[in-house]
């Protein structure tokens, strides 16, 4: 239970972010803004829970935070290229969609790692 509590905290925080639909004003498409975060939340909570034995919680937190920023950058780049091509560039559309899934996964993993840091003390 002790290893699952941080993941549960992350899932609850991500659920609030999904209900508030914070991805839409940040650049996710209105049709799938909540869907991508839901998929990413599950992936991120599982990855962060499985990574508990690999390094210290602070290193995991920094790594997942960096991955969150990089994934958001990928999603924004995909969004701008997709819009600039008038919806013709399928690769840019996939980068936009999967970038948001990875952003949700990395954010959930970062929240899980942060909860592990604070619950450890």
> Whole-angstrom distance between the N-terminal and C-terminal Cα of the chain?
17
| Of the candidates 117, 111, 79, 98, the residue with the CA atom closest to the CA atom of residue 40 | 98
pTM to 2 decimal places: 0.94
68 three-state secondary structure: helix
Q: Does the structure show a pLDDT above 80 at 114?
A: yes
- Provide the pLDDT for residue 57: 87
- pLDDT for 19-56, tens place per residue? 999 999 999 999 999 999 999 999 999 999 899 888 88
Contact (Cβ atoms closer than 8 angstroms) between residue 6 and residue 116:
yes
Is 2 a residue whose pLDDT tops 80?
A: no
| Range list of β-strands (E), the chain | none
Q: State how far Cα 7 lies from the chain centre.
A: 13
Confidence of residue 121 (pLDDT cuts 50, 70, 90): low
């Amino acid at each position: 239970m002790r290893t699952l509590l941080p993941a549960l905290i992350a899932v609850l925080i991500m659920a609030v972010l999904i209900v508030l639909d914070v991805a839409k004003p940040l650049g996710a498409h209105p049709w799938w803004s909540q869907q991508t975060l839901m998929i990413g939340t599950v992936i991120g909570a599982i990855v962060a829970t499985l990574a508990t034995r690999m390094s210290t919680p602070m290193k995991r937190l920094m790594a997942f935070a960096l991955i969150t920023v990089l994934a958001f950058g990928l999603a924004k780049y995909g969004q701008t290229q997709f819009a600039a091509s008038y919806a013709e560039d399928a690769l840019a559309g996939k980068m936009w969609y999967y970038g948001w899934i990875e952003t949700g996964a990395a954010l959930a993993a970062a929240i899980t790692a942060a909860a592990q840091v604070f619950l450890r003390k």
